[in-house]
Structure 1
């Protein structure tokens, strides 16, 4: 069997599967570095997200491998020998699975080197998340082998791959139900959120039982397939009756605050601490500009550390920074304009125009634009003629901004309109 395995790894579908999976992995990583940059858990979670594409490719590879054996008359050769018929199927499956998995891991190993340079929180549960991802690749290959053995069509490989992609997409984005855990794909999960250990264990058991059932079907071992199928359904029951993905807990160590030692306070979650040196020089000048203004925030904090039951209320003294999608592949800050959007929350109007007149709404939002421009120190423009405000002494500018915050918090349209008129 070892000789056959080595032959399959060198000359079969396996080398092509390895190349395709490595290329797909690199492409997936390059498309969305903000999902994984600088975070071990983020990298592994993104591998699980990528399974939407990678599993479909493994299904197609498994179908092609089974079809290749049929086209070369391997079935007849196996039937003419005393060797059990399931052994060649197992070897072919193992070769494609190993090759595809190695291809993916090579791509993600390159990303891991980049993460290791800057990561500030190692975490301790991402190994199990990675294991489930590897098991999923094996299950996908087994599914492809089963289809390839039962369906004798040359187009079976691309059709099966597309069908697997659609099925996984439907199941994965059905994210309000516990049944989503039956799919190995993991989306919309922050790097600091933790999937319960029992769910991960049930996922691993489900994928193992499913793999055995599919391989038994491919080998036409009906009794073994039935037993493994019953086991798979039994493991699926606690998964679909367990907690849904919208109730994930937060890792308290990952969101422990790391703060600046001097100047206005800027705090980020420990898992995002590699961004602190770039976030601080951009945010602290804004906090310094607001220092001492009544009603203005006096600190900026990573939203990852905000308790779930605590709303982002205006006037709570905090600017909440959204850093989940703010990392480059090398661990740098991705978008300064996204930080500016978080800072603009200070001046955001949280009420609508009660009068409903277009002219009043325009005047109110003109004042809001003046407050934005003053906070971000933007130059005057035809849309935001703030030159008259900049012409005032700084104490008068700060008093104007304090009046704006008070009027915005109280939805005082008359005061907002008055503040927008040049003095």
Structure 2
């Protein structure tokens, strides 16, 4: 590779940036594999990988911004700007070439991170549909915006402290919206981009996000590189218009995200894939690889419970939150996103799925549960786990009566059961 782009990659910041992104990203993947908990940060699908690759941008994106600032400030920081001033090539062309080289470096580093992440679940992928490429496009545009902001800052403030300052600023700008449940958080989609198994971006909102990030990139490059900075007014106007449109989007809770306006369900991913015998166990198509193990685990876990005919994966409930459904013929089990064991395709933590399935099966979804109801639930939880409870001589009959009371929120029955 020759010319300014090749020179930037070989002797500039490009190779260091690519290596830094790749090494940091792979280390984050490895740390997540051995981390505690029953879930991975990503799942066995295109939509399931995007949230992880988006979230690591909170750390990798500021690296791109800092590297851009270091590259952009190089001429004046090294006091060679007067030497290159007589060169016939305009400054904006040199800066665009440098930005292009840095973009290649960012892309190369990210490809290694993507490959490392995908390798952990490649053998278990059963669904690759949906609009996840749109999400990946927005993530890529976010990196370009960070990089352009860094280059512009380096041009305008050519000091040694500019690069670390821009890195910190990018981290704050990208990370703070995670804690802001307001429309302003939608102006920093990268690092906070909604996505999960069974969800996909709305094309219109994705186009707004892409326009916003592209306009920011062009504005930053024009302000930092052009001899006449007033040309930055045009892309800045586009950026403002896109920002106003994003701020106007409502902020609503979907069950997983606060940015409900960004996403819509993916019908194909959420189709049921079920066992053929009874009780039927159904998971979503996006988790079809887990059906045999989930069937065995949940049937064994719910063996003490009688009267149900379906076991179905809940499509929307996030970890740690139980769905508002009544016990009866249908037993709901947790969302299976992230429950695949890396490199094997097996269920990551059968014990945790057993405990959660038992808990949900006997929970009484009543508006207000009395003290007797709480005591009855505790007894039911013990019985469904296979443990004996003093005073309960017929566990199967007791559970049958409890589930009937829970279905109707029968306070009188709870009191009788709690006293048995």
Question: TM-score per shorter chain, which class?
Answer: 0.7 to 0.9
**Correspondent of 2:235 among 194, 219, 228:** 228
The answer (yes or no) to whether the contact 1:57–1:161 under 8 Å persists in 2 is yes
What is the TM-score of this pair, normalised by structure 1? 0.84
Q: Which whole-Å deviations, capped at 9, do the CAs of 1:380-418 have from their partners, x for residues lacking one?
A: 5xxxxx2664xx4xxx32111112223444555564454
The answer (yes or no) to whether the contact 1:40–1:126 under 8 Å persists in 2 is yes
1:266 aligns with 2:266: no
Q: Secondary structure at the match of 1:194?
A: strand
**Would you tell me which structure has more helix in proportion to its own residues?**
1
What is the TM-score of this pair, normalised by structure 2? 0.85
Counterpart residue number, 2:332: 320
The answer (yes or no) to whether the contact 1:176–1:246 under 8 Å persists in 2 is no
Q: Give the deviation of 1:370 after TM superposition.
A: 2.5
Aligned pairs for 1:137-176 (under 5 A) are: 137-176=143-182
Q: Secondary structure at the match of 1:171?
A: helix
Aligned pairs for 1:125-140 (under 5 A) are: 125-140=131-146
Aligned pairs for 1:383-394 (under 5 A) are: 386=389, 389=392, 392=393
Counterpart residue number, 2:397: 399
Q: Which whole-Å deviations, capped at 9, do the CAs of 1:265-323 have from their partners, x for residues lacking one?
A: 110010111121221111012444323x4xxx3321111179xxxx7322352222222
Q: Which whole-Å deviations, capped at 9, do the CAs of 1:121-170 have from their partners, x for residues lacking one?
A: 11142222212211221111110111112224322222211111111223
Aligned pairs for 1:230-249 (under 5 A) are: 230-242=237-249, 244=251, 245-247=259-261, 248-249=263-264
Q: Secondary structure at the match of 1:301?
A: strand
Q: Give the deviation of 1:173 after TM superposition.
A: 4.2
Give unpaired runs (5+ residues) of structure 1. Answer: 355-360, 381-385
Q: Which whole-Å deviations, capped at 9, do the CAs of 1:216-252 have from their partners, x for residues lacking one?
A: 1111431322222122223334333345522431010
Partners of 2:267 and 2:21 in 1: how far apart? Answer: 35
Counterpart residue number, 1:114: 120
1:131/1:261 Cα in 2 relative to 1: closer, same or farther (>3 Å)? same
Counterpart residue number, 1:201: 207
The answer (yes or no) to whether the contact 1:278–1:333 under 8 Å persists in 2 is yes
Partners of 1:149 and 1:28 in 2: how far apart? Answer: 32
Q: Give the deviation of 1:17 after TM superposition.
A: 0.8
Q: Secondary structure at the match of 2:121?
A: helix
1:397/1:171 Cα in 2 relative to 1: closer, same or farther (>3 Å)? closer
1:187/1:343 Cα in 2 relative to 1: closer, same or farther (>3 Å)? farther
Q: Secondary structure at the match of 2:218?
A: helix
Partners of 1:77 and 1:316 in 2: how far apart? Answer: 80
1:257/1:181 Cα in 2 relative to 1: closer, same or farther (>3 Å)? farther
The answer (yes or no) to whether the contact 2:50–2:195 under 8 Å persists in 1 is no
Give aligned pairs, total. 396
Q: Which has the larger radius of gyration?
A: 1
1:198/1:74 Cα in 2 relative to 1: closer, same or farther (>3 Å)? farther
Partners of 2:171 and 2:97 in 1: how far apart? Answer: 25
Counterpart residue number, 2:86: 80
1:187/1:83 Cα in 2 relative to 1: closer, same or farther (>3 Å)? closer
**Correspondent of 1:302 among 299, 310, 313:** 313
1:346/1:159 Cα in 2 relative to 1: closer, same or farther (>3 Å)? same
